[in-house]
Amino acid sequence: MTTAPHGRPPVADLATWQAARDELLIREKAHTREGDAIAAARRRLPMVEFDPSVKVVGADGPVPFLELFQGRDELVVYKHMWHDGAPHQGQCEGCTTTAWHVRDAVYLNARGVSFAVLTTGRWDEVADYVAFMGYTQPWYSVRDLPAPIGESMGSITCFLRDGDRAFLTYATTGRGNEPAVPMFGLLDMTAYGRREGWQDDPEGWPAPPEAGSPVGGHGAPICWYWRTDADGTADWGPTSRPTPQWTRHGATPEQTLGRQGDCH
């Protein structure tokens, strides 16, 4: 191997690269097999029955939770956090990004699984936000409802139906939500990864961008869900907004996020 410019991987011929790649592949395959084993254990978890006749509010008004299955046996929901009264750019950057990535559930549907987004926001606010973002999946307000339908926002939750009965089978949050955001996996394959503060990087690697406002914390590396300015530069300042929002019509810089929050 030869020395590369500062902050770059060392340079090698193809045979040397392939040998190193093959060595890493052994670990990758072990990681895949462990993931399969965890998924097998997940399928063996017990389940919890709950009342699916509870009403949630969607585009067609109040409907029983059971209708979210759309006649299928399984249902996956993303529970979107909500900040009452906040403008669009003040809503959760992580939840905005996750919901943005699940724009078409046709493959889930083909496997007998329905998908919906639940949130604790008031429906009139939620409907306006859904229209602004152009989300295509069904959204419902579960305001003031108990678990497992409500509560535990910022999470993926799975349900199973047996006729008119319904059961909670699985839930995850934090980085457990990453399967819904495939861009993270693609970034992990790149030389610089996600460029986040927690990464184990080689010496000399570019430092992660830093937050620039009290929302993210002065001088603190930004987290795994980014806000950006109008030019796409990572920023947690008062004119930033969740990254997917910049693709929407009328998404212009704002003077305030409308809230103070943490980097989830």
Closest CA to 148 of 161, 162, 166: 166
Q: What average pLDDT does the segment 104-109 reach?
A: 96
| Per-residue pLDDT, 234 | 81
* Rounded Cα distance, 57 and 82, in Å: 15
A 10 A CB-CB count for 151 gives 12
Q: Hey, which of 42-51, 194-203, 213-222, 243-252 has the most confident mean pLDDT?
A: 42-51
DSSP 8-state secondary structure symbol assigned to residue 11: B
Helix (H) or strand (E) holding 48: strand 48-50
Beta strands in 142-216 (DSSP E): 155-162, 165-173
Beta strands in 85-186 (DSSP E): 113-119, 139-141, 155-162, 165-173
Closest CA to 253 of 102, 140, 89: 89
The pTM score is: 0.88
Q: Right CATH number for 48-179 from 3.40.30.10, 2.40.50.140, 3.40.640.10, 3.30.70.270?
A: 3.40.30.10
Helix (H) or strand (E) holding 15: helix 14-42
Helix, strand, coil proportions of the chain in percent (round to 5)?
A: 30, 20, 50
* Rounded Cα distance, 244 and 177, in Å: 17
Residue 84 scores a pLDDT above 80: yes
Q: Where are the domains of the chain?
A: 48-179, 187-198+208-254
Q: Which amino acid is at 222?
A: I
Residue 243 scores a pLDDT above 50: yes
Query: Which is higher by pLDDT, 138 or 261?
Result: 138
